[in-house]
């Protein structure tokens, strides 16, 4: 698995595999247009779901997708994740590796 800084570095085949990924429900989550616009291309250090009880699930989903796709986590993301995880003591993380 190749580690990239972000999906912008993906080749066409990697992008196609991601948008057609049916192997993990966390890869693509349907949200309202308003939520989609608010999040845009922001990472976990720049945007969190407005509903606080959902943030722990978002954190585990974010981490699983990053791991599944071999994406690196930058320092700002890591810091945000460390702050969030302190409030999520009972969350479990499972990762299904991409083929």
Which pLDDT value is given to residue 27?
64
Which pLDDT value is given to residue 28?
65
User: Which tokens sit at 27?
Assistant: 């890869």
Which pLDDT value is given to residue 32?
74
| Biggest CA pair distance of the chain | 38
Q: Please identify which residue in the block is written with the tokens 């993990």.
A: 24
Q: Domain boundaries in the chain?
A: 7-85
Per-residue DSSP letters for 48-80? --SSGGGHHHHHHHHHHHHHHTTB---HHHHHH
What is the residue-level pLDDT of the chain in tens, covering all 99 positions?
Answer: 444 456 778 788 888 877 777 667 766 666 778 876 877 788 899 999 988 888 998 898 888 888 887 888 899 999 999 999 888 888 777 777 776
Q: Please identify which residue in the block is written with the tokens 């989550």.
A: 29
């Amino acid at each position: 698995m190749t580690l990239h800084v972000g999906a912008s570095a993906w080749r066409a085949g990697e992008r196609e595999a991601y948008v057609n990924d049916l192997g993990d429900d966390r890869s693509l989550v349907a949200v309202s247009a308003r939520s989609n616009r608010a999040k845009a291309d922001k990472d976990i250090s720049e945007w969190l779901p407005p509903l606080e009880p959902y943030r722990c699930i978002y954190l585990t989903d974010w981490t699983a997708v990053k791991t599944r796709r071999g994406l690196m986590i930058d320092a700002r993301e890591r810091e945000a994740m460390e702050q969030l995880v302190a409030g999520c003591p009972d969350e479990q993380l499972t990762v299904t590796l991409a083929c």
